Amino acid sequence: MPAKLVDTRKTTPGLRILEKYAVRVGGGYNHRYCLSDGVLIKDNHIKAAGGIKQAIGLVREKIPHTMKIEVETESIEQVLEALDAKADIIMLDNMGLDKMKEAVKIINGKAITEASGNVNADTIYDIASTGVDIISVGGLTHSVKAFDISMKIS
């Protein structure tokens, strides 16, 4: 299955609903609409909790059984810890292509894989070729250039 292209929560204030709608109309998918749509454990959360396993344990006690937990990882060691802690989604944040391929191979379908960071038109094909399930791109919403639709009368 090809990788899905998803947006992020990084949107223009007051325009989130329109920008996320535009992503869907354009063939992309939406990540979280708001913070309560899922859990994303980032580097600061991992440090504060004392590790990935501890962070997931603390969160899992407090959320509904239907909510997914995503963990941001930056190394193969963190990928292994996230797998051991049974993360639902493992984000491969700013990883090089070789490391990303290795991580996807290690995860081997035990969690959803998401590539994030430094994604643009020049890198997206190679990132998709690593086998990740999802590629998140904040630029789909926060860096869009307005289309000039003015009408000139002569």
The 10s digit of each residue's pLDDT in 63-108 is 999 999 999 999 999 999 999 999 999 999 999 999 999 999 999 9
Q: Is 26 a residue whose pLDDT tops 70?
A: yes
Any idea where the domains of the chain sit in the sequence?
A: 4-142
Indicate the pLDDT class of residue 36, thresholds 50, 70 and 90. confident
**pLDDT value, residue 21:** 92
Kindly state the average pLDDT of the residues 132-142: 82
Q: Residue 154 burial (CB < 10 Å; 0-12/13-18/19+)?
A: exposed
Range among 8-22, 35-49, 96-110, 112-126 rated most confident: 96-110
Q: Is 144 a residue whose pLDDT tops 80?
A: no
Indicate the pLDDT class of residue 112, thresholds 50, 70 and 90. very high
Q: Residue 54 burial (CB < 10 Å; 0-12/13-18/19+)?
A: middle
Q: Indicate which residues carry an active-site annotation.
A: 10
Q: Evaluate if pTM is beyond 0.75.
A: yes
* Residue type at position 97: L
C-alpha distances in Å from residue 141, one per residue of 28, 30, 136 = 11, 10, 11
Determine whether domain 4-142 maps to CATH 3.20.130.10.
no
**pLDDT value, residue 8:** 80
Indicate the pLDDT class of residue 141, thresholds 50, 70 and 90. low
Nearest to 80 by CA among 119, 44, 111: 111
**pLDDT value, residue 149:** 77
Q: Is 130 a residue whose pLDDT tops 90?
A: yes
Kindly state the average pLDDT of the residues 43-68: 95
